[in-house]
C-alpha cells in the first residue's frame, strides 16, 4: 500500500512540476496573479457599474411585465372558466 502511495506522489509531483513550467502553467499562474491583487482602473469600473445598473433596471422591468402578464392570464382563465360553467349548468 505504501509503495502505491509513494509512486502516486512521485508521478503526481512530476506531472505538477511539468505543468508548472509549461506555457499552460505559466498562463494559469499569471491569471491567478492578476486576479488576486490588481484592481480595475476607475474608468473600467465606472463603465461596469453603469452596465450593471442598466441590466438590473431591465431585469426589474421584465419582472414587472411578467407579473402583469400573469395577472392578465389569470383573469382570462377565470372568465373562460365562468363561461364554461355557465354552459354546463344550463339556463337558470
Question: How far, in Å, CA of 25 to CA of 13, rounded?
Answer: 14
Cα–Cα separations (whole angstroms), residue 3 to 8, 10, 65: 9, 11, 65
Give me the count of residues in the chain.
92
Q: Tens of pLDDT along 8-65? A: 888 888 888 888 888 888 888 788 877 765 567 788 888 989 999 999 999 999 999 9
Question: How far, in Å, CA of 89 to CA of 92, rounded?
Answer: 8
Q: What does the domain layout of the chain look like in residue ranges?
A: 1-38, 41-92
Question: How far, in Å, CA of 58 to CA of 52, rounded?
Answer: 10
Q: Tens of pLDDT along 52-86? A: 999 999 999 999 999 999 999 999 999 998 888 76
Question: How far, in Å, CA of 85 to CA of 16, rounded?
Answer: 73
Q: Is the pTM of this model over 0.75?
A: no
Amino acid at each position: 500500500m505504501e509503495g502505491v502511495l509513494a509512486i502516486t506522489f512521485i508521478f503526481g509531483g512530476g506531472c505538477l512540476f511539468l505543468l508548472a513550467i509549461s506555457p499552460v502553467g505559466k498562463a494559469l499562474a499569471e491569471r491567478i496573479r492578476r486576479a488576486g491583487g490588481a484592481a480595475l482602473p476607475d474608468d473600467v469600473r465606472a463603465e461596469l457599474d453603469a452596465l450593471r445598473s442598466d441590466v438590473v433596471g431591465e431585469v426589474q422591468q421584465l419582472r414587472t411585465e411578467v407579473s402583469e402578464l400573469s395577472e392578465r392570464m389569470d383573469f382570462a382563465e377565470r372568465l373562460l372558466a365562468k363561461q364554461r360553467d355557465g354552459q354546463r349548468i344550463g339556463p337558470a
